[in-house]
Structure 1
């Protein structure tokens, strides 16, 4: 089985879908690996590093030619897959809700599209979960970026010249990114608080030593979504949360927002009026900016200032830590391939009734097949 790894072409994308470590593991299974020249440059991996691991380096068309599986970070357009044949698997972050036309083109070309971000949130698939591996780094990076922009010390410091108070950090949305942001903020010495629409996260927040900020005694909470994701809140809950958050946000030095709802625009968590209530010099980091943003006025790819508050809207935050992000993402891909590897055939076999295969397969046989994209 030939596996192709492509150089990413999307703006701000420095990650790569294979590292020398995973190349060796794939070769150990019995696969051959061809990598487009320059694919690892953004992650500080040279072509020579890949050659030393046993991969073949070639042009894009030569890499794709004869491959049974193409690995990418962000899903390539069909036009960027010269020589690809019907029945080839393309495994990447395909973002079907943002780019339906690309998924339709995959179907039209007869490709089998595997959306890695659709990986089921199950114990069996945990090691293949790209959203978790990348969000973990994004949560860490958000605190580091915020601390740099804040320009003051995070921990309380007692000196002969007096005491410097600890920074106050508020995390909104306690998924993987939010939990890592809490942990990182605590390690840096900040006073950390956090909130989420899912009541089950209270224990997680407190276990990390942060203060849980929750709306109490309000009916109609709909935050417990399938697979651990948040869903829409009731109107009553939204109003109560807005009131609670407004009073809390005004006292914070750094706020990090991480709330995403799969297949929908990011929910608005912070309004312009709430920004105006914050002290000048405060910082907000919006990790959902690429999906519309949690913060009013946030701009993807920019740092803007409103009412004296800096709003950080870095696009693709995981890519800003490309070496580590690539290491984790490529392991997710390898773990998936390894789980379906047939030693005798020296190829991956993908049972149609398997829950992982059904969870990630978007197109096959010239059609869109995923239930979330039908109808």
Structure 2
């Protein structure tokens, strides 16, 4: 089937793509008690999204959360649901791709097809789906749903097959599968993007990567040090080769960018070490451990960044699995250039306070990335 996604900037010309991650949730991408942390007020989210849109960033990626991490800060206790969040931001932006994160055990493929087609029409072809198969059982207890840790990616793949077949168009069909027994499936309108909107997956276990190799256009993966990237790329490529497909690999980063390296490192130490919500991070690590049934990756090392390694401190207020980009604009660009050189197509970015910090990033980092040849100047 012919692929037409020309309006989606995720497939645009920039060599190293950037997107805003987790701004629909309080705390953003931190586990910190710092009072400066992101509050996720709707008007602030809109203002930040418009800055990112006008600056030419490629995507906005929200997190689907249903309850807080159980620490003192109650990070993620406040969050906006991602399909309605996506529809609203899609109507308020002009160029940026708008992703919706969907837990497949909670949303039927027919509902998701209708919802994603709606958002794709609102955005004139800028919608994207982030498929999440589920890992934290305590969140699903709220819905009365039990996750089968061993079968969750098999369930997710069948869900994707139904969803994508619906949006591909054609006559109505029945589905008699392992997880779904469905009758007279059809949807109208179809998505603007053909054959369906862009798909992202964030699995980093072997089963997660094999799922991405079959279903996703983009794999969003954990890494905490730049030197992990070649091993990750090699591992992902092996899954792609098995499926005769290619995929773009993105990292996840937290940015602390200041005029001087000392300012940046002192601020990172303040919110991620001095003000760390260690209980919240302990909860995350404990619950993540229960989802290891799909097989832990041998490529990604424990959640240690260069700050943990060089100082011996925990930096527990930093999000596990995120790469800290901490320093001057030149430092940030140098690390992003290294990420690109090792094969990453881009990274998501987050800030302690998105609205306060993104203007400096746009003003100082983006022009430097353009001069490095990693990005093109945004047309007016």
TM-score category (smaller protein): under 0.3
**As a proportion of its length, which structure holds more strand?**
1
Query: What is the TM-score normalised by the length of structure 2?
Result: 0.27
Determine which structure has greater relative contact order: mean sequence separation of CA pairs < 8 Å that are 6+ residues apart, divided by chain length: 2
